[in-house]
Amino acid sequence: MTHHILRRLCALALLLPAACTQFPALDSRATPEMLAAQYPALVPVDPLSAQLTTGQSDAEQIESTMDARVAGLQARAAQLRGSVLTDAEKQRLSEGLQ
């Protein structure tokens, strides 16, 4: 139990100086043009949600394309798992090793 307390005290001792760090003044970096700029216009939500639903059809198309590619790669991998040598070649090699 004392190890847990010691760990927490060490972590606190390491993090405490970071809490006292002075941050640069960010307001001084804003130019007068930035401060005088208008806020962006608010837009209705309906056009944005319509864009989201059209994006889903693209996602479905991408998913079906990827599924077809995965199936093709799995079929190719299954073919590559088979033996490279024919039975006659295997026999010839085993005779040469004896």
Q: What is the mean pLDDT of residues 61-80?
A: 91
0.75 exceeded by pTM: no
Q: What is the pLDDT of residue 72?
A: 95
The two tokens of residue 80 are 């590559």
Measure Cα distances from 82 to 69, 70, 96 in Å.
21, 19, 23
Top-ranked range on mean pLDDT: pick from 12-16, 36-40, 74-78: 74-78
Instruction: Measure Cα distances from 88 to 75, 85, 93 in Å.
Output: 26, 8, 9
User: Distance (Å, rounded) from C-alpha 76 to C-alpha 69?
Assistant: 11
